[in-house]
């Protein structure tokens, strides 16, 4: 009897043992599946890629914070990468991460509705974001007859997914520890995006082209992989990093620089200042090499915003620094700025023509625009290099007003929340996120990438910064309520 009791006790598995057995079993199953696919599929790398994808998917579906961090890394470093398996449509890696994030959040909300830590988090302007989404959808349906490809529908879905992710992010980032990790990732991955662009730029152009063309295996374009000022190689190359387009790359760098700059001047930075200076060097240099005047002016607006709102001593150094920076700028960049302000260069003249065309569309279709497809009239085109006119021609004046309403309510929320944050690090986070939005809105005067269905990663980053600002204020409010 004693032997039987001892045997039965020895067969009882501890939770750690069961976890180890499941881990080993899963590894064996993945190994067998990977080996089978490596033999059965035309390219053995497909099998290994599928196994790696399953492992990442497992962690993403079980850990929403990990999923969010994967999505952020993709948006900054490989925004146009796709899953190299076509199942009806080709999903981008960012789109898959966003879908996983939203799905996990909804399941957790449904299954743990009684859990105090999983209750719904909301912002005071959720209704305005939902209104904006509703107008987007209505305009798309209204102009559906002019959508001439499934790519447009897919791109519109990605844009809507980027906006909806706002709600998932403010519900997933619930603690200061998690937000610290997200900010560190944004700083490191954003700096990496800058250094990648800078590193590619200094390489011989033949090698640059070869490296960028290698990305075609994950869905990157194969034409115009190198960009030049006014498409003229004689006028100089423009840095693009892995963002395909130099102007959208510049807009991405504005967000990164806003976050890093605030940390650099904060009394309680997340990294040592010399580390932050190194992190910011790459994005700042890459921004200059994009030759994107909108992004460069947007960065100056960010600095002015930060100096005005919080760190006013910046003004003592900003003006001399701006003068010195102007003196050391290459002559061709100075010339481009001078020609732009004089309305003389081809890019500026093209923008003026686009503005005129956009105003014509708004006059003909003032309330809900022409939707997200082609313009109804053959004499009109829908491309315009300004986010505000883009929204107005796509969604009409209702759409533009709903967007501006979200922005006004967001900044009112941030200004009110800033006074409730006792920790300088929290204040720097909020100011960095709000500064990024200010920079994006300033860039939006000359570019449209933060609301362009073909650049959904830019919209994802825009709404990410907005969501993280809300999350910072909500984290402090929750902490104060528990005291």
What's the token pair of residue 24? 């080993």
Provide the residue-wise pLDDT of the chain in tens; the chain has 483 residues. Answer: 555 554 444 445 555 555 445 445 444 544 544 455 445 445 554 554 555 554 555 555 557 888 999 999 999 999 999 987 766 678 899 999 999 888 888 877 777 655 556 678 889 999 999 999 999 999 999 888 777 788 889 999 999 999 999 999 999 999 999 999 999 999 999 999 999 999 999 999 999 999 999 999 888 988 889 999 888 888 889 999 999 999 999 999 999 999 999 999 999 999 999 999 999 999 999 999 998 889 999 999 999 999 999 888 888 887 787 777 777 776 667 677 666 666 677 777 788 888 888 888 889 889 988 888 877 776 677 878 899 999 999 999 999 999 999 999 999 999 999 888 889 999 999 999 999 999 999 999 989 999 998 999 999 999 999 999 999 999 988 776 666
Backbone phi and psi for residue 242, each to the nearest 5 degrees, phi listed first: -105, 20
pTM: 0.86
| Domain extents in the chain | 14-111, 119-482
Closest by alpha carbon to 62, among 91, 92, 34, 22? 22
CA distance 94 to 243: 13
Per-residue CA distances from 65 to 71, 158, 174, 201 (Å): 10, 21, 10, 33
CB count, 10 Å around CB of 450? Answer: 25
CA distance 310 to 199: 34
């Amino acid at each position: 009897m004693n032997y039987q009791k001892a045997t039965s006790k020895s067969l009882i598995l501890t939770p750690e043992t069961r976890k180890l057995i499941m881990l080993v079993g899963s590894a064996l199953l993945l190994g067998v599946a990977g080996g089978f696919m490596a033999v059965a599929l035309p390219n053995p790398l497909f099998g290994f890629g599928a196994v790696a994808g399953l492992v990442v998917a497992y962690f993403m579906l079980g850990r929403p914070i990990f999923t969010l961090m994967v999505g952020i890394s993709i948006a900054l470093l490989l925004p146009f990468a796709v899953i190299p398996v076509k199942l009806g449509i080709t999903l981008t890696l960012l789109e898959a991460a966003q879908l996983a994030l939203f799905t996990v959040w909804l399941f957790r909300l449904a299954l743990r509705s009684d859990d105090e830590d999983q209750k719904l988090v909301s912002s005071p302007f959720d209704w305005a974001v939902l209104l904006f989404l509703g107008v987007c959808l209505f305009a798309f349906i209204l102009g559906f007859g002019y959508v001439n490809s499934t790519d447009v529908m897919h791109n519109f879905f990605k844009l809507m997914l980027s906006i909806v992710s706002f709600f998932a992010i403010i519900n997933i980032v619930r603690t200061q520890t998690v937000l610290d990790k997200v900010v560190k990732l944004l700083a490191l991955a954003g700096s990496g995006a800058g250094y990648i662009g800078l590193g590619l730029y200094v390489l011989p152009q033949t090698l640059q082209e070869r490296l960028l063309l290698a990305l075609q295996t994950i869905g990157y374009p194969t034409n115009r992989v190198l960009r030049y000022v006014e498409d003229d190689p004689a006028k100089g190359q423009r840095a693009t990093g892995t963002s395909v387009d130099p102007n959208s790359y510049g807009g991405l760098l504005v967000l990164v620089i806003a976050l890093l700059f605030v940390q650099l001047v904060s009394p309680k930075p997340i990294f040592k200042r010399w580390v932050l200076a190194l992190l910011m060097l790459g994005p700042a240099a890459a921004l200059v090499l994009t030759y994107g005047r909108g992004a460069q002016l947007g960065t100056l607006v960010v600095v002015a915003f930060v100096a005005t709102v919080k760190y006013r001593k910046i003004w003592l150094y900003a003006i001399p620094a701006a003068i010195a920076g102007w003196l050391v700028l290459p002559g061709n960049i100075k010339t481009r700025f001078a020609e732009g302000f004089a309305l003389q260069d081809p890019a500026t003249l093209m923008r003026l023509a686009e503005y005129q065309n956009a105003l014509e569309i708004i006059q003909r279709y003032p309330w809900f625009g022409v939707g997200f497809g082609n313009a109804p009239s053959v004499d009109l085109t829908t491309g315009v290099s300004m986010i505000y006119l883009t929204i107005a021609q796509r969604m009409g004046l209702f759409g533009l007003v709903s967007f501006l309403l979200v922005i006004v309510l967001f900044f009112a929320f941030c200004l009110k929340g800033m006074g409730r944050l006792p920790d300088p690090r929290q204040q720097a986070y909020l100011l960095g996120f709000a500064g990024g939005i200010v920079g994006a809105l300033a860039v939006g005067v000359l570019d449209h990438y933060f609301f362009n269905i073909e650049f959904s990663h830019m919209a994802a980053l825009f709404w990410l910064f907005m969501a993280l600002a809300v999350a910072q204020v909500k984290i402090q409010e929750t902490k104060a309520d528990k005291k």
